[in-house]
A and B are shown apart, each in its own frame.
Chain A
Amino acid sequence: MPDLIVENIEKQLGTAQVLCGVSFELQQGEVLALLGASGSGKTTLLRSVAGLERPDKGKIEIRGKVVFDAASGFEIPAEQRGLGLVFQSYAIWPHRSVFENVAYGLRLRRVPDAEIRQRVGDVLARLGLGHLADRYAHQLSGGQQQRVALARAIVYNPPVLLLDEPLSNLDAKLREDARAWVRELIKQIGNSALYVTHDQTEALAIADRVLLLDRGQIQQDGTPQEIYGRPTSQFAAEFMGSNNRFDGKIAEISANRARLENHGWSLWGKLRGNKEPGAPGTGLIRVERVRLADGGGENHLKMQLKSALYLGERWEYVLQLGELRLRVWGEEGRAPGECWVAIPQEEFWIF
């Protein structure tokens, strides 16, 4: 039985339709990332699961128990859903010590004092906060506050852990560390988690499965590898990674491959979606999949290298052919001039 079932959730805020029929399931022990730009509805979706927003339509079940059903007007309030939620701003109660912040959920559940001390102590120790139990929020660093928020959300073993951009208030360096240990922690305690983020790297790194949301709809639902490596829509392809884009016309179709052409170039690639020859098409390839080549060949283009930018760990070349501009990464500096570019067919998606 899945830990969480969300069925056909719709929600309107003011005049904007924020969620237009979203459904998904969260399996026991799975970490699911809700990935989307701001305004995609990901936070509204999370808050609907938490019970902080009331959707207009749809149904939500937690561990087989219906907590919301618009059809019958049934709703279990947030406080009775038993979930754990980590806020973007952490929302540490400033008038309570770290210990009391974490203990609050247990006190509400009337857990005996001795057990509270032990369980809170365990969680704080596990998160490396043992020595900070008596501190208050203003005496903690951002990273420590974030751990307290996490400790507070997991201490009473919620069936589903909800995380709303939990790392976005951390410095870049801390964030990279946090990615790893947050995933480790969730996996260790074996909780299922719903993780909202706008940061694709974070989503790919932390989640077992990613839901890509756009304008209130799920664009793609898959493993991180599928989302990045086999996008099913042009939106999904363009949302992830850095891309080179080719606008042209479908010249020829053979099986699942197509030839896209425009002035001065013609390339074979994998056809995604239904297209007829003669229709306008868009070709996309990840920047890191394009390489400079030594000479001509199949799916090779002869282009002008306009400039080479030094980015630290690599070089970026800007190439031009008519109206087509490409970015290509390489190892060394290059002088402007003519050069060949290889566009691997398998990696070139035509939509």
Chain B
Amino acid sequence: MSRTLRSFAVIGVALVVFGPLGLIIYQSFLSEAFFSPTASLSLGAYRYVLTDSGFHSAFGTSLLVSLGMTLISVPLGSLLAFLLVRTDLPGKKFLEPWLLVPIFLSPVVLAFGYVVAVGPVGFFSLWTKALIGRVPWNLYSLYGMILIAGLTHVPHSFLYVSSALRTLDPSVEEAARVAGAGPWRIAATVSLPLVLPSILFSAALIFLLGFELFGLPLVLGDPAGLLVLTTYLYKLTNLLGVPSYHLMAVVALSIVALTFPLVYAQRRMLRTAGRFAVIGGKGQAFRPLPLGALRWPAVAIVLLWLVVTVLLPLIGVALRSVVSQWGEGIKLFDVLTLDHFRELKGYPNLVRGIVNTLLIGSIGGALSVVFYAIIGLAAHRWQSRWVSFLDYLVMLPRALPGLIVGLAFLWVFLFFKPIAPLRTTLFSLWIAYTVVWLAYGLRLISAALLQVKPELEEAARVTGAGQGTVYRDVTLPLIRFGLIGSWLLVFMMFVREYSTGVYLLGPGTEVIGSLIVSLWGTGALDLISALSVIEVALVGLILFIALRLGVRLDA
């Protein structure tokens, strides 16, 4: 039983990871798309891409964006983490779930929201112009893109720094207080330095995510002619008129060549993280650090971030979805309408997209959690070299942006004839989603498994239960709540996913996210805004359920 399970896990993961990756590598060494009869082995694609000035500038932009957003989100995220975890910030119980919300919002929706809220003719831009005569910002610029990328990635550093701060023994801060330090000084000289490994870890993560950005640069960079590596890849799709798969493969590999070392470095950092951490002896309640007069400015910082990062784009999207048109001189109340939502019914592909999004999130998400649970259980208390092999396998997809995984699976379904019919079904999308979120899903599962003390399983074994029976009678029942939580979180991730479906988009595989990306090319703002509102509402509903059930979002 456990033997079958373990073999299945190792072989299954190896197949879904190496299959697509191998195909990309193979394709990169061909002179044309792999299905072309005249394709031959060649380094031509490398020569073309690596000498293309467009590639060079996209590379430079990617680097700047990654660096810039890391410099914004890490300090801000660490500060917010300190305020929410260690101080008596007013209303922190209420604020905390909101800090993680951007993680569950689709970047392409957020980017679109910024365009309609603070773009050149956005709601807030025009209102500001009416007030002071000009728009004092320019969204379509490198700085605009970096700022927004930085602000929307604050939750990622908040997540890691706050969980490290939570394990910090409060007495080290109390000692600093007794010695005469104020809250800001404590943060700067005691608390944050003690969780430095986690801060650095989150910096590496955000730097990595910078190279995988797709929605934000597609929507915000394009109008200014700014391409990053992923959008450069996307533009290549139709560059030559025929599918330029060989060039796309090279670009995809160049992205992986950047992200893989970062993922590897992160893994090493994780091993040393916690080395400084002063873990509290007992989980005793401690008195949070009083901020004193600084508490209101501190709340203002948190709220300002929340307004700019979450409220502003969401209000933009919501407003845009209920106005028939928008521009200078138009009064909001004259153009209110619900027509855009009614219009959706006229497009069968959009209706299918909404249904498919629900299906892939609910049923697909559940199946993925089952798949992750099988892998998690297989590795659980298994002492073998295969476990570290499995670990590395699982880590690999983290270096693969959704866009590339989707592309690679498109090729897999084109390349292997027996499974070709599956390409136009939701299965193709499901397997790509499952691979993209493999590391995330497994982290959820192993967090749940970590709660199961080994004695509980050993007790069952000694009592007479075989490994399979132990899983059935002890392990699974004990993590059932964790599994439900994982399902809800994966559900949200699958609903907000957009980049993975871009290349797999076709009749039968439409989902809201990839539809928005393709509609963005046509400028159908009315439909995009309506779809976005539906997506956000869906995510909001699941988030609400998850929070009511007490699911921890910070996994």
Contacts and interface: CB of A to CB of B under 8 A. Distances in A.
A77 B474 contact: no
Please classify the interface of chain B as helix (H, G, I), strand (E, B), loop, or mixed, using the class held by over half of its residues: helix
Interface string A79-93: 111111101110101
B477 interface: yes
Interface in B463-484: 463-466, 469, 473-474, 477-478
Nearest to A81: B462
B391 interface: no
Interface string A50-62: 1110000000000
Contacts of A85: 458-459, 462
B381 to A, nearest CB: 11
B463 A52 contact: no
Contacts of B455: 87-89, 91
A51 B462 contact: yes
A91 B477 contact: no
Contacts of A77: 461, 466
A78 B465 CA distance: 9
Contacts of A91: 453, 455-456, 458-459
B538 interface: no
Contacts of B465: 79, 104, 108
Contact of B458 (A78, A80, A84, A156): A78
Contacts of B466: 77, 79
Nearest to B455: A91
A94 interface: yes
B464 A82 contact: yes
A105 interface: yes
Contact of B462 (A52, A88, A89, A94): A52
B456 A52 contact: no
B478 A78 contact: no
B168 to A, nearest CB: 26
A263 interface: no
B460 interface: yes
B256 to A, nearest CB: 36
Contacts of B462: 50-52, 78-79, 81, 83-85, 153, 162
A186 B310 CA distance: 65
A131 interface: no
Please classify the interface of chain A as helix (H, G, I), strand (E, B), loop, or mixed, using the class held by over half of its residues: loop
A95 interface: yes
A83 B465 CA distance: 12
A142 to B, nearest CB: 15
Interface residues of B, number: 17
Given A95-B478, A108-B469, A79 B456 contact: no
Interface in B306-324: none
A259 interface: no
A173 interface: no
A27 B60 CA distance: 77
Contact of A78 (B453, B456, B461, B473): B461
A11 interface: no
B452 to A, nearest CB: 10
A152 interface: yes
Interface in A64-110: 77-85, 87-89, 91, 93-95, 104-105, 108-109
Nearest to A109: B464
Interface residues of A, number: 27
A79 B478 contact: no
B461 A52 contact: yes
Contacts of B473: 104
A156 B463 CA distance: 9
A108 B455 CA distance: 18
Contacts of A156: 463-464
B6 to A, nearest CB: 16
Contacts of A83: 462
A152 B463 contact: yes
Contacts of B460: 93, 104
A105 B470 CA distance: 12
A13 to B, nearest CB: 12
Contacts of A105: 463-464
B201 to A, nearest CB: 27
A89 B463 contact: no
A93 B474 contact: yes
Nearest to A80: B464
Nearest to A54: B383
A87 B477 contact: no
Interface centre among A91, A95, A105 (most CB of B within 10 A): A91
Contacts of B453: 89, 91
A109 to B, nearest CB: 6
Interface in B336-377: none
A144 to B, nearest CB: 17
Interface in A108-156: 108-109, 152-153, 156
A48 to B, nearest CB: 13
A157 to B, nearest CB: 12
Contact of A79 (B464, B474, B477): B464
Contacts of A152: 459, 463
A185 B464 CA distance: 23
A65 B462 CA distance: 17
Interface centre among A50, A79, A88, A162 (most CB of B within 10 A): A79
Interface in B417-473: 453, 455-456, 458-466, 469, 473
B459 A87 contact: yes
Contacts of A78: 458, 461-462
Contacts of B469: 79, 108
A79 B461 contact: yes
Nearest to A95: B477
20 contacts: A50-B458, A50-B462, A52-B458, A77-B466, A79-B462, A79-B463, A80-B464, A82-B464, A83-B462, A91-B453, A91-B455, A91-B456, A91-B458, A91-B459, A93-B456, A93-B478, A105-B464, A108-B464, A153-B462, A156-B463
Given A50-B462, A79-B469, A93-B459, 18 more contacts: A51-B461, A52-B462, A78-B458, A78-B461, A79-B463, A81-B462, A84-B462, A84-B463, A85-B462, A89-B455, A91-B453, A94-B478, A104-B463, A104-B473, A105-B463, A108-B463, A109-B464, A152-B459
Interface of A: 50-52, 77-85, 87-89, 91, 93-95, 104-105, 108-109, 152-153, 156, 162
User: Closest 8 interchain pairs by CB?
Assistant: A91-B455, A91-B459, A105-B463, A85-B462, A108-B464, A78-B461, A87-B455, A95-B477
